[in-house]
Structure 1
Amino acid sequence: MKFNQKIDTIFLDTHSKKFEIEDKVNVIISPSLYWVKKVALPVKYIRDVKPLLVSLFEDILPTGNYSYHAYKKGNDFFIFAYEDKVVLDLLKNKGISSSQLNNIYLSQSEFDTISNPIAIDENQSLYVKNDLVILLPSSFFDAQESLDINNRTLSKHNIRLNQFGHIVNSKSLYTLVGIFSLLIVLLSVEFFIVHDKTLKIQDLKDNLFTKHSLKATMMQNRSMLKDYSSLHERQMRVRKYMGYMLSMNLEDTQKISLVHLKGKKLIVEFTGIVKGTQVKIEKELNKHGVKLKTRFKSDIWQVEMSV
């Protein structure tokens, strides 16, 4: 998967075939190689978010040595965690040395505007859901676009991979000791600042959950939201159908005698309607797209609508 640009760009995934690269390349890494969250935080700048990244990921990351990255889009922050060694080892395994790397990008920043699934191989496709770029089996989709980024402009959100440790010599030892001492003081201060901000965020979260009587987990809250959304939609349909009923021009002898909501059925009964005269009302309701069942019970004409 190589593309003709001034500097070639490749897409790196664990299932990628081995590359044959001679010059420097840009690399876009698959969602399978990093963790991502979209979060809203009570801070304004990226510099305020970076100290919080470890704590924002600590409840989901498996054991490993992670680097972190973040950028802001609109009012939200997109935050990332990735293992440098995993990516570097995979690059080496696929035939790319560290000296051949120009810039490294995340799929999230490079494909977040796609409107259709993009197939990266026979089995996997990129897809955007809730503003997040994810990797799904291609069998989930009826059709996908091919992975072609010849004309795609890369974003400014490149990341760095940490490759080497620093070697300390005797000449710089005393300087480094002084620097480290200062860093310890600064980090101690920053730790308390970060800890305070983390507690404030947790308090905001707890207060929000308590204020709105939310459940303990997001999965429970999403389920509750789905139930309320379904209930709201039903109530709006009931209101709309009742509006149709009440706005009809009935004869003086024709009246609505009963309105009853039974499960997912809205039942309206009319008096003063004889067989044949109900056709006008049925046509009026059908014109509004109302699916209904009607029947006569003695001198009562009953209309049943699904809501």
Structure 2
Amino acid sequence: MFTKFKTTSSVVFLDPHSEKAPEIAGGTKVDIVLSPSLYWVKKLSLPVKYARDAKKLLPSLFEDNLPEGNYSYVVFKEGEEFLAFAYEDKKIIEEIGKKNISISSINNVYFAQTELLELLPCKINEKEVMVVDNEIVFIAPRVWNETAEELSLDSLKLSKKTIKLQQFSHIIDNSSLYKVAVLIGMFIILLGIENFITMQKIESVNIQKEKLFEEYKLYPTMMQNRSVLQEYETTFEKQTKLRELIAEFLKLKLEKEQKITDIAYKNKMLSVKISGLDTAASKKVLQSLQSYKAALSSSFKGKTFEIKVKL
């Protein structure tokens, strides 16, 4: 089932979980915008230049994420990245058929990902909202955004990023089939050459990858490399905080007879000893370190004021 929201341009939002039925006048052409529930999407950086080359890689790139089914793929280039989609033609057409919409009345089919970014977040039914995170549109429980307004397609301007469902594209007469066969025969050699070039590019990238892994002594899997990177990032963050804290102590405005006599770091604890401070002067020092108050402790040992900060 799917929902048609109020619009003057016969645009219908197709969502399996919507309980509202569309009202479409007879003979009206309809543009359909697919809910994220009806497709899978990825943003990818690939070692190819053209969308037609990227499309050849999509089945292997999606295979670990898709449930069992018969999928079609489409890709659009956006800057230096590719926006890739996988969808089941049969499932989409079944959703259309549930509302007795004629196949011949459908003008174009679009994705919510390419058409609705500017309209989010929005409510699409009583239990779900459509939101965007990291430039990816997805469906979430209503509690994620209970103030979201209902989707309105009144001012929607559709893009040229459309798909043709397989059942549409194959309904052609014998004459058209003959013409298509002739065109395929004319271009089959060119397509073979393009495929060869693409495979050469992929092989080149794999060779470069192996050289980089060997040169920088990387682990064989990305999971292992990410784990090592995370450890380095954590260490770098701790060292940065330590340097910043020591810098705070070195910037303290001390009198002539006051001076830092020792700085030590052990067991995630920075210890700084300052001589020549009385009670009033020690309070001024502590006041200048207010941003570290939660992790700070201090004490007098003889004539030496010691400050400890846990990192």
Give the TM bin, normalised by the shorter chain. Answer: 0.7 to 0.9
In the other structure, the counterpart of 1:266 is 270
Deviations 1:245-303 (A, max 9, x none): 111121233222332334554332222223232111122222xx332332223333222
Matching of residues 49-60 of structure 1 within 5 Å: 49-60=54-65
In the other structure, the counterpart of 1:10 is 12
Alpha-carbon distance in 2 for matches of 1:77, 1:248: 53
- Tell me which amino acid in the other structure corresponds to 2:87: Y
In the other structure, the counterpart of 2:86 is 81
Q: Which of these residues, 153, 156, 163, is aligned with residue 157 of structure 2?
A: 153
In the other structure, the counterpart of 2:130 is 126
Q: Which of these residues, 106, 113, 120, is aligned with residue 108 of structure 1?
A: 113
Q: Which of these residues, 294, 297, 301, is aligned with residue 297 of structure 1?
A: 301
Flag the 1:152–1:264 CA change in 2: closer, same or farther, 3 A: farther
Compute the TM-score of the two structures, normalised by the length of structure 2. Answer: 0.80
- Would you say 1:194 and 2:198 are equivalent positions? yes
Deviations 1:218-270 (A, max 9, x none): 66666655554444443333222222211112123322233233455433222
Flag the 1:236–1:138 CA change in 2: closer, same or farther, 3 A: farther
Shift of 1:100: 2.6
Provide the aligned length of Structure 1 versus Structure 2.
303
* 51-60 vs 148-157, greater mean Cα deviation: 51-60
* 296-305 vs 213-222, greater mean Cα deviation: 213-222
Alpha-carbon distance in 1 for matches of 2:111, 2:6: 19
Q: Are the equivalent residues in 1 in contact too, given 2:16–2:95 (CA < 8 A)?
A: yes
- RMSD of Structure 2 on Structure 1 (CA): 3.3
Alpha-carbon distance in 1 for matches of 2:87, 2:32: 15
Shift of 1:167: 6.8
List alignment gaps of at least 5 residues for structure 2: none
Alpha-carbon distance in 1 for matches of 2:193, 2:93: 34
* 173-182 vs 56-65, greater mean Cα deviation: 173-182
Identity %: 40
Deviations 1:88-142 (A, max 9, x none): 111112443322322211121123356x633322322222222222222232346
Q: Which of these residues, 240, 243, 251, is aligned with residue 244 of structure 2?
A: 240
Flag the 1:176–1:10 CA change in 2: closer, same or farther, 3 A: closer
- Tell me which amino acid in the other structure corresponds to 1:104: V
- Tell me which amino acid in the other structure corresponds to 1:123: K
Alpha-carbon distance in 1 for matches of 2:180, 2:10: 40
Shift of 1:32: 1.9
Q: Are the equivalent residues in 2 in contact too, given 1:21–1:96 (CA < 8 A)?
A: no
Deviations 1:44-77 (A, max 9, x none): 3323323333333334333322221111222211
Flag the 1:76–1:163 CA change in 2: closer, same or farther, 3 A: same
* 179-188 vs 134-143, greater mean Cα deviation: 179-188
- Would you say 1:277 and 2:287 are equivalent positions? no
Q: Which of these residues, 71, 76, 79, is aligned with residue 76 of structure 2?
A: 71
* 230-239 vs 121-130, greater mean Cα deviation: 230-239
